Structure 1
Amino acid sequence: MSNPEKNPAELVCEGGEGGDGRPTGAAVVLPYREVPLGGPRAMPVRRSLPQRERSLIGAWCFVDHYGPDDVSDTGGMKVPGHPHTGLQTVSWLFTGEIEHRDTTGAHAMVVPGQLNIMTAGSGIAHSEFSTEATTLLHGAQLWVALPDEHRFVSPAFEHYEPPAIDVDGARVLVFLGTLFGETSPVSMYSDLVGAEVNLRPGQRLEIAVNPTHEHGFLCDTGTLTSHGAVAKPGEIIFHPLGADRITVEASPAEVTRLLLLGGTPLGEQIVMWWNFIGRSHDEVVRFRDAWQRERDARGGVQFGAFADAWPDTLPAPALPNVRLRTRG
């Protein structure tokens, strides 16, 4: 998924993360801001990462939560070809269907309960459109920042259907890393975990977690409670390093669904602007210039050959009048 904002904001986090500034103690709720996802009527998404208070959870650097969205009202997801660098996109749906194309030649459907993960590495372009059969669209789009030693890997696309397992009556699908004894085979470039957890009404579940990980629990449905923090859909309950067990609790009268996102702190400063992740302002400028050139030529060396099915692609927004700053 793209960040289609015409004037993408630069969010700089200087406190509350990284090194000695990393928070300790109680869980905290990370709120979201509503962002329109392009299109003539603009499907709204709830963006809870990045934000001023926190840019990263492990290497997770971007969390968009959307729906349930009636596509007859909004037009659904319509994101033409656009570029990415230095990251992996993790697509996870609860309802609906999205058609994915990218410049590795991959053409796949994103459907509920199945993971599509795209490694941008040195550069890739892709498009995402909800299908004509989709009436209700509901899911999450997540980005993972690649560490410096791997951020120029060759672009790639992978698909994985995790098995649903029962954990004390909770239905769990582990799509990245290892949790509850289940391990995903999907390629990762840092130590991560990602899973969907469905809790029965009123259920409390204790989760054994890696204490070297930071963890975020994205509430999808119901109301999520964890260690005194309470989140509604689109909000994240953040737990800092150090915990080896985390308890989550569902709404008393309804099923609560959440995404567990965790990982070892990235430990690097990054520049994230529009759909690019780099390490300096000048590098992001080069990425933008390369995309504009290759967009005019309908493909090139960095972002690959464009799909014949793309009548148009997204132009890069104008850069701000100030130098971009790192965060992390």
Structure 2
Amino acid sequence: MSNSEVRPAGPRCEAAGRGAPAGQAGVLPPRAVPLGGPRAMTVRRTLPQRDRTLIGAWCFLDHYGPDDVAHTGGMDVAPHPHTGLQTVSWLFSGEIEHRDSLGSHALVRPGELNLMTGGRGISHSEVSTPRTTVLHGVQLWVALPGEHRDTGRDFRHYVPEPVRLDGADVRVFLGTLAGAASPVPTFTPLLGAELLLAPRATVALETDPAFEHGLLVDEGEVRFAGTLLRPAELGCLDAGHATLTLTNETDAPARTVLLGGTPFQEEIVMWWNFVGRSHEDIVAARQAWQNASDRFGTVDGYAGERLPAPALPHATLTPRGNTARRGADG
């Protein structure tokens, strides 16, 4: 998915360490971002925000749907580039056709992980299929650490088996949780899982205390580490917790996505679809894309033109880490 925000303002965040009692999760509210055009599909973005850039290496979270494709037109994102990151696609309903410059041609379906590594440079397109009536899911990005940010292109597909717990079904697409482990390799320690909570159920999950965690609520109202989260909100919790407790506060099933990872120690620059370490990194990547350089390759099979890069802002892009970890006073 292409990032249409090149100058995101973002609301102030009720982040962990800023307004949340010790040991409790903070709340990142979503903001609406249209994905272009008069019939644009609108996504709800919770990462990045002004006061929280990352949860582990997770640096971007778009949550969309359920969208009636007959009304919104669905998803049609022309070929666009990525550098310094991995894209993680996870659907709840619908189907998306993925094509990339590695030559991958795959379908994104509910409960199936599609992970693409950009590294030095990759391009891809994403189009909802004619079979799709309702499109609903999340698009996530992972920042690559400095030693691996120029790695080669890669694409992985994985279908996790559900793990049945007392009160929840869990699908682990990255990392390890509830006795399940994803075979998909990552460049930093990560966790990604969908959890479907039974009505009024409480689930205690053993987790790595070295991880930061984020919980996105898709459906229902869920209490996460003492904080009530409503649909489309992202709870964030700093490292230091060996057990996470989730409670579905409603009489219907609740669906969530749990993310985690060790704190990302590097500052990054995120602009458009690029993750770099400096303003110069972004300028070079943008110029390479505009010049149709071999750095990003070409996407075959998409009927249309590729996306042009937006203009750079009239200011130097500065690296940022997690302001939420710099103390309650910022």
Measure, in 2, the Cα distance between the counterparts of 1:191 and 1:102.
Answer: 26
The Cα offsets for residues 218-247 of structure 1, whole Å up to 9 and x where unpaired, read as 001111112321111211111111000010
2:324 match: none
Measure, in 1, the Cα distance between the counterparts of 2:281 and 2:193.
Answer: 33
CA spacing shift, 1:124–1:10, aligned 2, 3 Å: farther
Greater alpha carbon shift after TM alignment, 163-172 vs 42-51: 163-172
Measure, in 1, the Cα distance between the counterparts of 2:10 and 2:189.
Answer: 25
Q: 1:3-82 alignment to 2 at 5 Å?
A: 3-5=3-5, 7-9=6-8, 25-82=23-80
Runs of at least 5 residues in structure 1 that lack an aligned partner in the other structure: 295-299
Runs of at least 5 residues in structure 2 that lack an aligned partner in the other structure: 322-330
AA partner of residue 302 (structure 2): A
1:99 match: 97
1:251 match: 249
Check whether the contact 2:213–2:260 (CA below 8 A) recurs between aligned residues: yes
Size of the alignment, in residue pairs?
319
Check whether the contact 2:167–2:203 (CA below 8 A) recurs between aligned residues: no
CA spacing shift, 1:230–1:64, aligned 2, 3 Å: same
TM-score between the two structures when normalised by the length of structure 1: 0.93
Aligned with 1:283: secondary structure? helix
The Cα offsets for residues 40-84 of structure 1, whole Å up to 9 and x where unpaired, read as 411111000000110000000000000100111110111000000
CA spacing shift, 1:73–1:12, aligned 2, 3 Å: closer
Answering whether residue 315 of structure 2 is matched by residue 316 of structure 1, we say no
Check whether the contact 1:17–1:54 (CA below 8 A) recurs between aligned residues: no
Structure 1 residue 10: Cα displacement? 6.7
AA partner of residue 325 (structure 1): T
Structure 1 residue 12: Cα displacement? 12
CA spacing shift, 1:319–1:89, aligned 2, 3 Å: same
Structure 1 residue 16: Cα displacement? 7.0
Greater alpha carbon shift after TM alignment, 137-146 vs 29-38: 29-38
Aligned with 1:91: secondary structure? strand
Check whether the contact 1:101–1:126 (CA below 8 A) recurs between aligned residues: yes
1:199 match: 197
Measure, in 2, the Cα distance between the counterparts of 1:270 and 1:306.
Answer: 27
Measure, in 1, the Cα distance between the counterparts of 2:158 and 2:232.
Answer: 24
1:86 match: 84
Aligned with 2:291: secondary structure? helix
Check whether the contact 1:216–1:238 (CA below 8 A) recurs between aligned residues: yes
Greater alpha carbon shift after TM alignment, 301-310 vs 35-44: 301-310
1:285 match: 283
Structure 1 residue 308: Cα displacement? 4.1
Structure 1 residue 39: Cα displacement? 3.6
TM-score between the two structures when normalised by the length of structure 2: 0.92
Greater alpha carbon shift after TM alignment, 220-229 vs 265-274: 220-229
Identical amino acids, percent of aligned pairs: 55
Q: 1:203-214 alignment to 2 at 5 Å?
A: 203-214=201-212
Given candidates 136, 143, 161, the residue that maps to 1:138 is: 136
Aligned with 1:289: secondary structure? helix
Measure, in 2, the Cα distance between the counterparts of 1:27 and 1:228.
Answer: 7
The Cα offsets for residues 113-166 of structure 1, whole Å up to 9 and x where unpaired, read as 000000001000000010111010000000000000011110111100000110
Structure 1 residue 252: Cα displacement? 2.3
Aligned with 1:93: secondary structure? strand
2:327 match: none
Structure 1 residue 254: Cα displacement? 1.1
2:328 match: none
Structure 1 residue 108: Cα displacement? 0.3
Measure, in 1, the Cα distance between the counterparts of 2:227 and 2:250.
Answer: 15
Structure 1 residue 17: Cα displacement? 8.6
